[in-house]
Structure 1
Amino acid sequence: MNKTRKNDVHPVARADAGELTITGLVSYRLQLVGNLMSRSAAMHYRRRFDVSLWEWRTIALLGARPDQTLNELAKVVDLDKGLASRVISALAERGLVQRRADEQDARAVRLSLSPAGGKLYKQLIKAAAARNDAFLKALTPEEWAVLDRALVKLEQVGRASIEEEKQLAASEGPPKSPSK
């Protein structure tokens, strides 16, 4: 296997063998593809089910893992608690999510799908599976296996990078203003 050294730039990240550009960054490419997939999903779920992308994700997570707190849900979705609260409130007003007090923590609220939310969840998951199949048809099984392994590795590196940045920020203090 041809591996690059740690300080080498991967040949794919070069633009016409010149200097690295933003479009050659793996994070840019992944974000672009993710945004395209998310935007098309948002349009699809709004048109077919009258739910926003965040509502769809919330319903999907509560359908897969019922009885979560708002904090747990916000963490899994990687969503600001304030925005997660607004999404939950909108879904509750529509009768799709139920809230109940947490027996162990009086400040916490447990969330689950209502019967109507459960019915919508089944429809959404069926639509999501069809969309997923359409994306997977663009790849051979071998290409998907390689991509899946690569995504696992990139997720691990991303999480480690976040932890490293947190540690560096804590040890270095606030950033200094650039010199003029």
Structure 2
Amino acid sequence: MSAATIKDLLSYRVHRLANALSRGAATRYRREFDVSLMEWRTLALLGGFSPMPLKGLSRQSGLDKAQASRTVSALVTRGLVLREVGREDAREVTLRLSPAGEVLYDGLMRAARARDELFLGALAPEERRVLEGAIARLTELARSQS
């Protein structure tokens, strides 16, 4: 079936879903943890994969380097992220969570997992498997087309 309007396009529908999921998450994380969506993503990536260079954080978060740098600076100011200058190259900055950042990360991940289960819980086990497979195949195809 061919898309009659933009609202019928897969990319538009997925974009709308992603925006709805992000808006709900942003509202909850701001209210419960006083972090923005970009700060949440930064904390989550550093909590799961640190130490991480700023360049890697930028790539993984989908933020350009300037956005990632501003987000990190705000988190450093709040005492949630530690910034370490490279020993061999002073231009290289490595990031990791501070002890306070780790505590916040734990709370954020509990909330994120509960939210994830709420959405996945709306699907039957077979629907979950199909969704996971579809997301993987579509992501691979989208990457190959860019």
TM-score category (smaller protein): over 0.9
Question: Which residue of the partner structure matches residue 123 of structure 1?
Answer: 107
Question: Which residue of the partner structure matches residue 22 of structure 2?
Answer: 38
Which structure 1 segments of 5+ residues have no match?
Answer: 1-10, 15-19, 163-180
Q: For residues 17-54 of structure 1, what are the alpha-carbon distances to aligned partners after superposition, in whole Å with 9 as ceiling and x for unaligned?
A: xxx21111110110010000000000000000000000
Which of residues 125, 128, 135 in structure 1 aligns to 2:119? 135
Output the CA distance in 1 between the equivalents of 2:124 and 2:5: 29
Amino acid paired to 2:107: Q
Output the CA distance in 1 between the equivalents of 2:6 and 2:18: 16
1:54 corresponds to 2:38: yes
Which structure 2 segments of 5+ residues have no match?
Answer: none
Amino acid paired to 1:98: L
- The structure number with the bigger radius of gyration is 1
Which structure shows the bigger proportion of residues in helix conformation?
2
Question: Which residue of the partner structure matches residue 96 of structure 2?
Answer: 112
Q: For residues 46-89 of structure 1, what are the alpha-carbon distances to aligned partners after superposition, in whole Å with 9 as ceiling and x for unaligned?
A: 00000000000000000000111111100011111101000000
Which of residues 18, 21, 29 in structure 1 aligns to 2:5? 21
Output the CA distance in 1 between the equivalents of 2:44 and 2:76: 15
TM-score by length of 2: 0.97
Output the CA distance in 1 between the equivalents of 2:88 and 2:129: 42
Amino acid paired to 2:115: R
TM-score by length of 1: 0.79
1:68 corresponds to 2:46: no
Identity %: 49
Output the CA distance in 2 between the equivalents of 1:104 and 1:36: 43
Which of residues 149, 154, 176 in structure 1 aligns to 2:133? 149
* Number of equivalent positions: 146
* More RCO (CA 8 Å, sep 6+): 2
Output the CA distance in 2 between the equivalents of 1:104 and 1:144: 46
State the Cα RMSD in Å. 0.9
